[in-house]
Structure 1
């Protein structure tokens, strides 16, 4: 493991002082979006992090955007602080699968402290630099594991990223058309700013809407639609496909195949699949210019 300076820890870990994890280690500009408060290496390849979640909006047991952000942030902190991945390298998310304990929710009395345990698997190198890390992530509430994720992060140099993105690297931020959202109730979200779907041209099909006021998903200008936005779109599409029956996703698999651009329509489609008794499964795909950019499958409980 490279001998590099560790991320400074808060003086009072676990109190909610988000100053303990610098925003650049999680690629975020807003300090209130940094959900991690502390980290430490337990042993080679094993890490423990502290997280503090805000209360979810009324009616939600927890905010799925905060869960996926926490897993993302944990991977980035470990990559930069423990494995020496340069801060200016571009992050690639190859896949992101996770499960959530049925019935998981936060207590209503205040912000919730959680623990995140990470095991790094299959570190790969390109020359002397780490090019990808597989991660097994466990989120614990007290002594109970409430979520588990299996993901692989990759990194490429700024020069390689510029070659890869070409003309798409320059984006006129927030200049794209923003279609009206679907009814928030149909996607299980509290208000219009939280909705990433607009009505489509047929049932089971929606247009992705990129509203940068949704600061959990859009923290600062980037050149392509963030992967967590596509995961949120999958969750909302599954809810919309099953509405008015409530849906609780407990297992999610995600694969990212291409970059989704801001300046052209991206279409989200959901198909309810046969599943074992007592479960419901929804396949969600995102396509742009006739090419699939994302696939997700959400399985869980209805009713």
Structure 2
């Protein structure tokens, strides 16, 4: 069954923030999508041929949500919590980010149900342009009904981003100097609570995509002349809208001559809210030569595989615990 993507199916109110155009049900556990990045590519790094990790991550998020609604009948109004998200950039985009349509193949695994209701799944998504794989991603989704969400959040669910004053920022989120004086390793995260990219509709906590962007910006500032080609992040708790947010470089090490791993923590006040492992390509994806490991230029797009690069690496929270035990690395 084919059709257009309804903005409600990706939890959006504004059409300009919907990245998925059309969908096709392959089975109850698999879907194909066509995405258009032209709508938002100006908010990201449109000058680079490397697929923007922010666009990939947001498209992964929308595909995971749509798969849960269309494939498993989750009612609108239920809460979707992304406990973990991974992104892997594998090849440049032909003609740049604002060019051709992006095709997605999404499959649900580790499906958990209670009775007839979905409680969680893991989505595996492959991104392709003109038959070439350009990125892969995975999202670990937890689904809870609206009444349970109200109990979980309590009085905090009554404060939304609309209760905060707007902030005139040229680029949100933005990193500011650390209150602890850790120059070049820690930053305060500030954001505009009316930015439609992250706050498309009223929410009672800081969205996970904003935390992803904060971690990405921290890693990019820490590793000069490099592009993010891998991200593995675990969300541990809600980040409250009124709380001070800090992003910190916990450790960094070379993986090889072309890549550097950076462990990044995002904190709600002093409490760890997201731990992540970020892989940076030195000199960028194209200059580093890492794009040779992407999909074939002329062959069919690679299908979703059970094994991925993340399977060989420790969980982000495990990496952070090792850093804390050993002391901060270089």
Contact 1:39-1:50 at 8 Å conserved across structures: yes
SS of residue in 2 equivalent to 1:273? strand
Quote the Cα distance in structure 2 between the aligned partners of 1:75 and 1:129: 16
**Partner residue of 1:258?**
237
Structure 1 position 197 matched with structure 2 position 175: yes
**Partner residue of 1:17?**
none
**Partner residue of 2:275?**
295
Contact 1:28-1:219 at 8 Å conserved across structures: yes
**Partner residue of 1:112?**
100
Contact 2:172-2:191 at 8 Å conserved across structures: no
SS of residue in 1 equivalent to 2:254? coil
**Partner residue of 1:275?**
254
Deviation at 1:215, TM superposition (A): 2.5
SS of residue in 2 equivalent to 1:112? coil
1:39-50 map, 5 Å: 39-50=23-34
Quote the Cα distance in structure 1 between the aligned partners of 2:160 and 2:36: 34
Contact 1:46-1:120 at 8 Å conserved across structures: yes
Deviation at 1:287, TM superposition (A): 1.2
Instruction: From the superposition, tell whether residues 172 and 153 of structure 1 become closer, same or farther in structure 2 (CA, over 3 Å).
Output: closer
Higher relative contact order (CA 8 A, sep 6+): 2
**Partner residue of 1:86?**
75
Structure 1 position 164 matched with structure 2 position 152: yes
Quote the Cα distance in structure 2 between the aligned partners of 1:179 and 1:22: 30
1:91-129 CA distance string (max 9 Å, x none) = 010110121015x23525954301000111111012320
Deviation at 1:80, TM superposition (A): 0.6
Instruction: From the superposition, tell whether residues 226 and 109 of structure 1 become closer, same or farther in structure 2 (CA, over 3 Å).
Output: closer
Structure 1 position 100 matched with structure 2 position 89: yes
Quote the Cα distance in structure 2 between the aligned partners of 1:273 and 1:112: 36
Name structure 1 gaps, 5 residues minimum. Answer: 1-5, 10-19, 182-191
Q: Which stretch of structure 1 is more off in the superposition, 288-297 or 208-217?
A: 208-217
1:170-209 map, 5 Å: 170-176=158-164, 192-201=170-179, 202-203=182-183, 204-209=185-190
Quote the Cα distance in structure 2 between the aligned partners of 1:116 and 1:274: 32
Q: Which stretch of structure 1 is more off in the superposition, 54-63 or 26-35?
A: 54-63
TM-score by length of 2: 0.77
Name structure 2 gaps, 5 residues minimum. Answer: 284-330
Deviation at 1:212, TM superposition (A): 3.4
Structure 1 position 53 matched with structure 2 position 41: no
**Partner residue of 1:219?**
200
Deviation at 1:65, TM superposition (A): 2.4
Quote the Cα distance in structure 1 between the aligned partners of 2:275 and 2:76: 28
Structure 1 position 131 matched with structure 2 position 131: no
The structure where helix makes up a greater share of residues is: 2
Contact 1:196-1:211 at 8 Å conserved across structures: no
Quote the Cα distance in structure 2 between the aligned partners of 1:228 and 1:79: 19
1:205-252 CA distance string (max 9 Å, x none) = 11121213532222111000111111111101101112xx22211111
